[in-house]
Amino acid sequence: MVKGIVEFLKGERGAVTTAEIIGYTLLIGGGVALVGYGATALFRGKTGAIFNAVKSMKAMSGAVSDTSTYSATLTTDSATGIATGATGN
């Protein structure tokens, strides 16, 4: 079996097929790496803003009881619009 593979690779048809496979693999791998790098650079700022907003979230202050009106004043993060704090009645 190994002898057959070696003969195939040494032959003209096997060499061309091997070169095509290696070339296409490198081309596809390079394209995937560039897309990944571009996506990382694109989302780096937005993701950081979202994580900062999530880290600064606070629970609503004030006790909730059967006489509560359940109204709240929200504090939102300016970069993402995520509510990071609330003051309730």
Model pLDDT for residues 60-79, shown as the tens digit of each residue: 666 767 776 666 677 777 77
* Residue 71 backbone phi and psi in degrees, to 5: -95, 150
Residues 38 and 70 in one domain: no
Residues 4 and 45 in one domain: yes
pLDDT at position 28: 96
Q: Among candidates 21, 84, 14, 10, which has minimal Cα distance to 54? A: 84
Residues 30 and 70 in one domain: no
CA distances from 15 to 3, 18, 26, 86 (A): 15, 5, 16, 68
Residues 9 and 22 in one domain: yes
Q: Which of 9-18, 31-40, 61-70, 74-83 has the highest mean pLDDT?
A: 31-40
Expressed as residue numbers, the domain containing 88 is 57-89
Q: What is the mean pLDDT of residues 50-55?
A: 76
Residues 18 and 50 in one domain: yes
Residues 17 and 45 in one domain: yes
Residues 25 and 49 in one domain: yes
Say what the pTM is: 0.41
pLDDT at position 29: 95
Tokens of 55: 């880290």
